[in-house]
């Protein structure tokens, strides 16, 4: 599925999201309310090479 996300304090961008298998965990059950956690793998839908290079430079030691 697609989601608009803000990652690393950047601008909102559209990402392709996939649930990581076996990452769902039930945290709480309260009647018919279930709270669950899951991990996502996200990939930019419209890659921005300039932004990627700037982000990598920020992390270079």
Distance CA 19, CA 8 (A): 20
pLDDT at 54: 86
pLDDT at 32: 95
pLDDT at 18: 97
Q: For CA atoms 28, 30, 32, 33, give the dihedral sign.
A: negative
pLDDT at 15: 92
**What's the predicted TM-score (pTM) here?**
0.59
Q: Widest CA span of the chain, in angstroms? A: 50
pLDDT at 36: 96
Instruction: Render pLDDT for 2-61 as a digit per residue (tens, 0 to 9).
Output: 999 998 877 888 999 999 999 999 999 999 999 999 999 998 887 778 878 888 888 887
Distance CA 37, CA 23 (A): 8
């Amino acid at each position: 599925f697609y989601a608009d996300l803000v990652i690393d304090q950047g601008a909102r961008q559209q990402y392709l999201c996939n649930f990581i298998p076996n990452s769902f965990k039930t945290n709480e059950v309260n009647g018919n309310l279930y709270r669950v956690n899951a991990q996502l793998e996200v990939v930019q839908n419209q890659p921005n090479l300039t932004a990627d290079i700037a982000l990598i430079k920020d992390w270079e030691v």
